[in-house]
Amino acid sequence: VIGHPKYQESKRIAIFLSMPDEIQTEEIIKDIFKQGKECFIPRYKPHSNHMDMLKLSSAEDISSLTLTSWNILQPSDDDSVREEALAGGGLDLIFMPGLGFDKKGNRLGRGKGYYDTYLERCMKHPSGKPYTIALAFREQICESVPVAENDVEVDEILYEDC
C-alpha cells in the first residue's frame, strides 16, 4: 500500500479504522502522518446511510474516539471541530473495507450503502471523485458479488498476491 503510486501522490486520504476481521490499517495511518499527508476517517450516522469523513489530527488521536454499538471507533456525534473532507478540499484517495469483492471492482459492504452514498457526494464536490482502493484478504475475492444500481465500483482492489 505504502509504495502504491496513488498513495504516494495523494495528499488527502480517507481510511477506515479496522474491525478485527478486516485488513488492519493502523500502520498505514501512522505512515499517512509520517509522510505529512492529511488523514480522514469515517463517522457513520446510525439509522441512515449517511457518512462523513472527518480529519484526524494524529495517529494518537484515535485513542480519543468513541466506540459505537458496532464496535467501531469514530468521532462522537457532537464533535463539530474536526474538518469534514468535503467541506474543505475533498479527497484524493479513499481506502475502503468490504466483505467480498470481484475482479470487476464490485464490492459487497455491510448493507447500508455508506460508501456508495459518500462517493455520490464526492462526485458533486469540485475536486471530484477520489481514487478508491479496497483492502482485502485473498479469501474475499469472489467470482461475482451481488450489486445494485446505486453501487459504485472501486477503482482497484489490493490483496495478497494480486
* C-alpha separations of 93 from 10, 40, 52, 90, 156 in Å: 6, 10, 15, 9, 11
Would you say 140 and 99 are in contact if contact means Cβ atoms under 8 Å apart? yes
Binding residues for ATP: 107-115
Give residue 28's identity as a one-letter amino acid code. I
Residue 69: all three cell numbers together: 454499538
Binding residues for substrate: 17, 22
Selection from 150, 71, 132, 138 nearest residue 100 by Cα = 138
Binding residues: 17, 22, 107-115
